[in-house]
């Protein structure tokens, strides 16, 4: 039961949230998400995600409800703030989505680290990880997790959301993505230096390490399927549009499996390794894990402009490739062509200065538009991995306006 004072706050937010969610533009943007993912060359979707909310000190973002309601209050406050200040192509869907809650027993060891957190309010911090997987005896400590559907927590969240949004909008339950990043896991359990040295000096040991993590991921995916935790109706997949008509529908009599959903994987730590090593130590394993997914989104911060060919050979379900600021946009578009979506990741350093500079942003966005149009390549832009905005949210507002104006020149409004 939500008391009157908390309900008053939440209903006021929900009223504004619902009004925006039912605007016609939401359906129009969802349609463009799908057309882009279905490989039509449309006006690129532009999104801003992974915002350092701690650097935005605005009363509109201050949660005042009791802690157990702040997951709902915070989500609405951030959505409303973003809509008003740097919405670009953000979608606030007309149905409120509550994620299924689950629990995991873990994989046998936990991260051991020294962490240095900045004082600006940004969520990014520096980490020094202890090497816990240096020997075969260490690998023996690993085991697949046991996943459990937390029905009580899920039902509690649904009850809260339904009460707050009663008469304003529908509330639906949604599941998880199929997302797993083997090398992110190994990095935080070993540290970067140790694993890179062992790739060169102890390749057999690293293959044994990879086999253990594939076993862990496979078990996790199977349990997601068995427990009905997968989401075949995603709007976003880690900051990027996920709407598509190219995934098979789920029969009402069955649970969603990997073939009904997107998969996502990457190897960020492989920025400096050769295509051959990237293929041997990452793609071969992720092919086993994600080959049964309906569609695949590959990449994160690693430059992939010179590796599209090896991705193409490994993944018949590949649909989107992340291209970072450290990649050659022209080479990437030439390699991708009309076959995949080029998921451009503009440089977040553009919003990290005390004075925003529009010129380098316009130049970067123009370059992507030019090379993608020349190669008939579907294009999207997602500003993410934002370490800082120099405590000035206006940087995001100006970035959004700059990018929209450039995209308008190339693709129209």
Q: What angle do CA 280, 281, 283 make, to 5 degrees?
A: 70
The whole-angstrom separation of Cα 62 and Cα 260 is 38
| DSSP bridge partners of 183 | none
Report yes or no: 109 and 140 within 8 Å, Cβ to Cβ: no
Contacts of 230 (CB under 8 A, 6+ apart): 175, 176, 177, 178, 224, 255, 256, 257, 258, 260, 261
Q: In the 8-state DSSP scheme, what is residue 250?
A: P
Give me the domain span that covers residue 273.
4-411
pTM value is 0.96
Query: What 3-state DSSP class applies to 72?
Result: helix
Structure-block tokens of residue 243: 């709407």
Write out the chain's pLDDT in tens, 413 residues: 899 999 999 999 999 999 999 999 999 999 999 999 999 999 999 999 999 999 999 999 999 999 999 999 999 999 999 999 999 999 999 999 999 999 999 999 999 989 888 777 777 788 899 999 999 999 999 999 999 999 999 999 999 999 999 999 999 999 988 999 999 999 999 999 999 999 999 999 999 999 999 999 999 999 999 999 999 999 999 899 999 999 999 998 899 999 999 999 999 999 989 999 999 999 999 999 999 999 999 999 899 999 999 999 999 999 999 999 999 999 999 999 999 999 999 999 999 999 999 999 999 999 999 999 999 999 999 999 999 999 999 999 999 999 999 999 999 76
Geometric angle at alpha carbon 269, from 389 and 365, rounded to 5°: 45
Backbone angles phi, psi at 27, to 5 degrees: -65, -35
Q: What's residue 123's pLDDT?
A: 75
Count of structural domains, the chain: 1
Q: Which helix (H) or strand (E) holds 357?
A: none
**Long-range contacts (CB closer than 8 Å, 24 or more residues apart) made by 75-81:** 76/10, 76/13, 76/14, 76/17, 77/13, 78/51, 78/53, 79/17, 80/13, 80/16, 80/17, 80/20, 81/56
Q: What CATH number should be reported for the domain holding residue 208?
A: 3.20.20.210
State the pairing for strand pair 102-104/147-149: antiparallel
Can you give the pLDDT at residue 92?
Answer: 98
DSSP-derived secondary structure letter, 54: G
How many residues in the chain? Answer: 413
- The pLDDT of residue 410 is 97
């Amino acid at each position: 039961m939500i008391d009157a004072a908390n309900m008053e706050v939440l209903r006021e937010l929900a009223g504004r949230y619902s009004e925006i969610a039912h605007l016609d533009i939401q359906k129009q943007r969802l349609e463009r998400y799908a057309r882009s993912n279905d490989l039509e060359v449309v006006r690129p979707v532009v999104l801003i995600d992974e915002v350092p909310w701690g650097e935005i000190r605005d009363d509109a973002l201050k949660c005042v409800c009791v802690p157990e309601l702040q997951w709902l209050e915070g989500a609405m406050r951030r959505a409303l703030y973003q809509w008003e200040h740097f919405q670009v192509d953000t979608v606030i869907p007309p149905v409120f989505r509550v994620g299924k809650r689950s629990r995991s027993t873990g994989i046998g060891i936990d991260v051991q680290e020294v962490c240095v957190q900045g004082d600006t309010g940004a969520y990014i911090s520096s980490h020094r990880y202890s090497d816990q997987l240096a020997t075969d005896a260490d690998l023996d400590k690993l085991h697949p997790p046991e996943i459990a559907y937390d029905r009580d927590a899920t039902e509690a969240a649904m009850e809260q959301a339904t009460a707050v949004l009663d008469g304003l909008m529908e509330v639906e339950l949604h599941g998880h993505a199929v997302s797993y990043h083997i090398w992110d896991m190994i990095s935080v359990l070993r540290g970067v230096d140790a694993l890179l040295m062992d790739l060169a000096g102890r390749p057999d040991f690293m293959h044994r390490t990879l086999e253990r993590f594939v076993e862990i991921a496979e078990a996790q995916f199977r349990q997601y399927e068995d427990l009905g935790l997968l989401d075949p109706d995603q709007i976003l997949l880690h900051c990027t549009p996920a709407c598509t008509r190219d995934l098979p529908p789920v029969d009402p009599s069955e649970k969603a499996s990997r073939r009904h959903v997107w998969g996502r994987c990457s190897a960020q730590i492989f920025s400096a390794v050769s295509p051959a090593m990237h293929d041997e130590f990452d793609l071969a394993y992720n092919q086993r894990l994600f080959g049964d997914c309906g569609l695949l989104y590959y990449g994160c911060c690693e430059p992939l402009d010179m590796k599209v060919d090896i991705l193409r050979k490994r993944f018949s379900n590949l649909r989107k490739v992340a291209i970072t600021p450290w990649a050659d946009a022209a080479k990437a578009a030439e390699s991708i062509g009309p076959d995949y979506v080029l998921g451009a990741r503009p440089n977040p350093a553009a919003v990290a200065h005390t004075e925003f500079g529009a010129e380098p942003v316009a130049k970067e966005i123009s370059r992507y538009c030019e090379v993608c149009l020349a190669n008939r390549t579907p294009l999207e832009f997602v500003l993410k991995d934002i370490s800082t905005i120099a405590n000035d949210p206006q940087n995001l507002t100006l970035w959004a306006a700059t990018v929209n104006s450039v995209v308008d020149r190339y693709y129209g409004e």
